[in-house]
Amino acid sequence: MAVKVMIPAPLRQFTGGQSSVDVQATTVGDALAALDQHFPGLRDRLVEPDGRLRRFVSVFVNGKDVRTLQGLETPLQEGDEVGIVPAMAGGR
Amino acid sequence: MIELRRADYEAIIAHARREAPRECCGLLAGHGSRVERVYEVPNRADAAAEFFAERGLYPEGKISGLRGPEVLTAERFFMDPEAQFRALRDMEARGLEHIGNYHSHPASPARPSRTDIELAAYWSHVYHLICSLADPEHPDLRAYRIVNGQVTEVPIRIIDEAESGSAVDR
């Protein structure tokens, strides 16, 4: 499936400034692996060594947080849009 | 210098007061240093206990005096990821840039905490605004850049524009 991965501004330093990347993938995990082929090392910023999504990052399929779907196993359809956002947090 | 319309300045303070004693948070969109739109984002620190704990940033409750899960939203913020993502996409659709984030310190000064500084690592390209309600009668809104752990205060210029209202998304 051809899907579009949207790269947020804080991660564009790893994509040479590119704001979206078209990849072939059947799951969200596949899409991140495909992204890593274009930009080696990017996946490690998003996924723990044991394969879980890092806590400070959220990944979306068509605006839905994959943690509320099937995580990195979430299936993708042709034309889906995969979004990535680092957490915005702090306090006191 | 960051430019903020008076209506937007008032909207951020009103948001902080409405959420107190919990911290509020939101995003600022515009062009360059001029804010043109304020997005309120729900604070989901209550669902982010492990996120803070694994960084040694779980709140101790010294400021709020709270114990239990309420301490998380009183002394931390964690933007609701879906709402944060929606706001960022909305900015793009409107041709606006994401130029800032804001949050409140309900009972402490308007200075970035250690937690704020550590967690700003991915957001060095935007302004960080903090609204303190430590003196409830005199809210204190300040802006900063946080780059590689270095904090620099940035002056806020309030713009009075009789004809332009505030654009706040809740």
**Where residue A78 falls among pLDDT bands split at 50, 70, 90?**
very high
CA–CA separation, B82 and A6 (whole Å): 14
Phi, psi of A61 (to 5 degrees): -115, 115
If residue B7 lies in a helix (H) or strand (E), which one and from where to where? helix B6-19
ipTM of this predicted structure = 0.89
Query: Within an 8 Å CB–CB cutoff, is residue B120 touching chain A?
Result: yes
Place of tokens 């709402």: B83
On the question of pLDDT at B141 being above 90, the answer is yes
Domain ranges for chain B, please list them: 2-163
Give the domain B2-163 fold: Cytidine Deaminase; domain 2 (3.40.140)
Contact B5, B135 (CB under 8 A): no
pLDDT of residue B44: 95
Question: Which one has a higher pLDDT value, A62 or B68?
Answer: A62
pLDDT of residue B145: 97
CA–CA separation, A36 and B59 (whole Å): 35
Query: Within an 8 Å CB–CB cutoff, is residue B51 touching chain A?
Result: yes
- Per CB-CB distance under 8 Å, the chain B contacts of A64 are 82
Q: Which class is A2-86 in CATH? A: alpha beta
pTM comes to 0.91
Query: Within an 8 Å CB–CB cutoff, is residue B78 touching chain A?
Result: yes
Question: Which one has a higher pLDDT value, A78 or B167?
Answer: A78
**Where residue B70 falls among pLDDT bands split at 50, 70, 90?**
confident
- Per CB-CB distance under 8 Å, the chain B contacts of A4 are none
On the question of pLDDT at A53 being above 80, the answer is yes
Contact A66, A38 (CB under 8 A): no
**Where residue A92 falls among pLDDT bands split at 50, 70, 90?**
confident
Strand pairing category for A20-24 and A2-6 = antiparallel
